[in-house]
Amino acid sequence: MDRVSIAVMGGGSCRGSPPTPSRAILLISMLKNRVFGSILGVVLTISIGFICCGRPEVAWRGTIQEVDGVTVVKNPNEPMHEEDACRLEEDLSIGQEEVGDEYPFSEVRDLAVDEEQNIYVLDFKEPFIRVFDKFGKRLLAIGKRGQGPGEIQGPTSLCVTSRGELLVNDRGNRFLHIYTLAGEHKRSISLARWPMFSRPVVDDQDNIIARCAVTSPGRAWIFVLKKFDPGLQELFDIFAYLMDVTPNVYDIFPPDCFWKVRSDGRIVWGYADKYELRILDGDGRVIRRIIRDYVPVGITGEEKNAWVQFAFGDTGVPASVKLNWPRYHNAFQFLSLDDKDRMFIQTYEKTTDGKGTFCDIFDPGGKFMAKIALKGAPRVVKNNKIYTIEEDEQGYQVVKRYKISWKF
């Protein structure tokens, strides 16, 4: 079997909102905070003090099989651990109170955390990375606006590597910048060959896993998830899929690809058209598939109206525009790993108050252990703490940290 999978997204544009993919991301973020829904059989409340998850422990009811040399883990719809299996307690919020001239945040796109629990915040509208200590005190800013060595124009993502370096994806300048955690620029790698370079992560050998476009935009873009060596030379392709960009035709909420690297260097990735994750060895071979039965979450009329209002305002959808609405949301919308290689999968299942969504937790082997509720994606999970990007009651962005208490 070939190592590279290809998915084709037919009918209409990949753009969730005109005219750019980044705006689609904003649309999805807006809808998550505005749309109300319910989860049958679960009563869960998100409060300032804590968030509970699950029900009393029961035996895991999934199956594990070997199929053509690949371990296949099939999970039921319900997690192994239930009621009160874990608890989240907020212990830090950054951005709620104005400090100097840099608050509140403008458009936070990503964050990272180092071994000292310092927090690195990437604000797309700012040409630098804000750094805070574990108590939320501002330490320094890394980078500045410009086109010189280590200068930043349009940052989209960042990560702290296992070697203790900060990698910043600057698509504005088309460079990957590498800094020390103290803010010294060490080197930059050109992205000129790789348009739409997205969400790079780094393994323990400094290899880079990222998605990029491999054709010039026309009526369809081809995106490929690739593994590169430290100098950004291609090692192998992992997954490829098409995005249709036919003018005036929009596929709303198209599936996306998500990936992370485990502590052992293995790649975990999934394409959100179905609830399945794959784990690859260092050569790109699939060694484990993790599948979960789930009930698809339908897209509501309120969500559609909110999208149209955001995209086109009071004028509504122009007569020349065609919108292709899927019946259901994708299987999931974010993937994160903690420092023990547990997998945190943010879904579209909503809490009863409509202010959060459920995040599924899998052990390193792929068993569905528990679920928690969050108001934002689990951007970083480290040292039994979850870091999220949320909005406060005034609509300002804040970075939150929650302490996890496990009961299993």
Higher pLDDT, 20 or 136: 136
Q: How far apart are CA 189 and CA 231, in angstroms?
A: 7
| Residue 217 pLDDT greater than 70, yes or no | no
* Local structure of 315: helix, strand or coil: helix
The enclosing domain of 285 has a CATH number of 2.120.10.30
Predicted pLDDT at 301: 94
pLDDT mean across residues, the chain: 86
Predicted pLDDT at 83: 64
Mean pLDDT of 35-55: 38
Task: Report how many domains make up the chain.
Answer: 1
**pTM (two decimals):** 0.85
pLDDT tens per residue across span 288-342: 999 999 999 999 999 999 999 999 999 999 999 999 999 999 999 999 999 999 9
Predicted pLDDT at 47: 40
- Please, which pLDDT band fits residue 28 given cuts at 50, 70 and 90? very low
| Residue 74 pLDDT greater than 50, yes or no | yes
- Please, which pLDDT band fits residue 24 given cuts at 50, 70 and 90? very low
- Please, which pLDDT band fits residue 107 given cuts at 50, 70 and 90? confident
Q: How far apart are CA 143 and CA 128, in angstroms?
A: 5
Mean pLDDT of 124-141: 92
Q: The domain containing residue 180 runs over which residues?
A: 5-406
Predicted pLDDT at 10: 41
The structure tokens 């927090």 sit at: 119
Higher pLDDT, 99 or 191: 191
Write the DSSP assignment of 243-284 as a string of letters. Answer: EE--TTEEESS---EEEEE-TTS-EEEEETTSSEEEEE-TTS
Predicted pLDDT at 8: 46
